Amino acid sequence: MEKKSFVKASGAIHITNKVSLIQKKVWNFLLMKAYDELGTKEKYQVALADIYDLLGTRNDKDIKKLIGSLNILVQFNILDKDNINKWGVYSLLGFIDLTNGVLTYSFGNELRQLLHKPQFYTIINLAIQQKFSCKYSLFLYELCLDYIGIGKTPWIEIDKFRYFMGIDEDEYLEFKFLSQNVIQKAVREINKKSDLIVEAEVQRLGRKAIKIRFSVTKQSVPAQFKTNANYMPATKEITDEQRKTLSLLISAGIEKEAAHKVVNKYDLNLIRDELKLLNTSTQTINNRTGWFIKACENKWHNYELDQQKLRAERERKENQRRELFEKVKAEHSNFKEEECLRRYSALSSQEQRDTDIQCELWIKQERKNNEFSRYTNDDEYRITFLQNKFLKDEERDLHQWARLKEYEI
């Protein structure tokens, strides 16, 4: 059987993609052909006829130009996943010779060592890469495939993501254009033509997009059916309720094949709960089918219900805390007024007269200094004066007084 898959080092996936779709496909093909001999040889050979088959053309002039263009420098391991083989700059091909219909090539000794038996790698299927017509789709596909075991790529700063995707500095400067012309276009093609389901998630600071990452899962529909628009998986006879649910799913933008699989696999009440969650979601969902399948698998509506319960419980506790605070505040206010009057009453007649004189002088001074004093009557001023005179700091301060009373506010 002809070999169609090969090992590709993570560092070789995380490169500066200043290459075209054709360049990427050809380099992957040459790496696949050479991989088994990377540990024993420095140069490798492939028949030019194989290149013809890969590209679907026999134009030698164009093929020579294409192969020659692979002698290009790229930055390797720019996302730092391979923490052993650090960042570096390498030529994709170190040696190129075309003689008598045979291409002889090398990767250069340093790059060859990084490509051979890497610690971090993924398996690339050439049959799938051939389906892509957009270079961004292949770049993103390889990145997501490299994180299939984790389920999500790391958060990538937007500038670094642009760099990884090989986007020119003056191209798609606004994120909405980057999203429309690169991200969404690539995600759609990956989800339609490959074995992955990919969904973008954007982190913002205010309105500005600052980071992006991608969730990734295995595609539920076999790849060989992806180009067959009339494919319908075999299912048992469905009930009226299942038929109604199917209609709701398809109307909500769920792909027909996936909708049938979901209806056959999951409880209808769960499906409708997840569908309600999908339809009421405020987040941007580029791949509704992929999102919905993961929602059913992980029962996201239960998580949302739990979150609602947590929010309700937090709100209940906050209301209790607020009510207690107001209650303690009122009790403290009564205490200050009653206690200062009680201590005033305990004075002798002469001490009370002296206190009254001090109070009158203080009120006059306050009215002179405070332009808003006309809104405060003498009784209010008198209580304030007596509190300042007879109460300690820890008695006048609400929080200190509450601690003394062992109230938790």
| One-letter amino acid for residue 222 of the chain | P
Show the tokens assigned to 178.
Answer: 């980057």
- CA 16 from chain center: how many Å? 22
Task: Compute the average pLDDT of residues 23-51.
Answer: 90
Provide the token pair at 405.
Answer: 């009373």
Domains by residue range for the chain, with CATH: 1-130 (1.10.10.10), 133-219 (1.10.10.10), 226-298 (no CATH), 319-404 (no CATH)
Residue 155 DSSP one-character state: P
Rg (C-alpha) for the chain, rounded Å, is 36
- DSSP SS3 for 99: strand
Which of 79-93, 94-108, 290-304 is predicted with the least confidence, judged by mean pLDDT? 79-93
User: Is the distance from CB of 290 to CB of 198 less than 8 angstroms?
Assistant: yes
pLDDT tens string 174-218: 999 999 999 999 999 999 999 899 999 999 988 899 999 999 998
Contact 190, 181 (CB under 8 A): no
Q: Report the chain's mean pLDDT, rounded to a whole number.
A: 84
pLDDT of 81 > 70? The answer is no
CA nearest to 18, candidates 66, 70, 77: 70
Confirm if 24 and 44 have CB atoms less than 8 A apart. Answer: no
Give the tens place of pLDDT for each residue, 242-298: 888 888 888 888 888 888 888 888 888 889 888 888 888 777 777 888 888 888 888
pLDDT the model gives residue 89: 77
The rounded distance, in Å, linking the Cα atoms of 237 and 263 is 11
Q: Which pLDDT belongs to residue 80?
A: 66
* Rounded Cα distance, 10 and 147, in Å: 10
Res. 125: pLDDT tops 60: yes
Per-residue confidence (pLDDT) for residue 230, from 0 to 100: 42
Output the CA–CA distances (angstroms, integers) from residue 403 to 216, 330, 396, 399, 407, in the order listed.
Answer: 53, 15, 12, 6, 6
Task: Please report, in angstroms and rounded to a whole number, the separation of the first and last CA atoms in the chain.
Answer: 75
Could you give the 3-state DSSP secondary structure of residue 84? coil
Q: Which of 215, 205, 144, 208 is nearest to 176 (CA)?
A: 208
CA distance 383 to 377: 10
**pLDDT surpassing 50 at residue 226:** no
Q: How far is CA 339 from the centre of its chain?
A: 59
Q: Which residues contact 225 (CB under 8 A, 6 or more apart)?
A: 231, 257
CA dist., res. 68 & res. 62, Å (int): 10
Structure tokens given for 64: 């020579």
- Spatial CA neighbour of 293 closest among 257, 268, 258: 258
Token digits of residue 40? 């024993």
Q: Which residues of 58-85 are buried (b: 16+ CB within 10 A; e: fewer)?
A: eeeeebeebbebbeeebbbbbbebbeeb
What confidence score (pLDDT) does residue 104 get? 93
Give the closest residue to 60 by CA, choosing from 99, 21, 19.
99
C-alpha to C-alpha distances, 118 to 121, 142, 395, nearest whole angstrom: 6, 16, 71
The tokens for 379 are: 């009784």
Contact of 5 with 30, CB cutoff 8 Å:
no
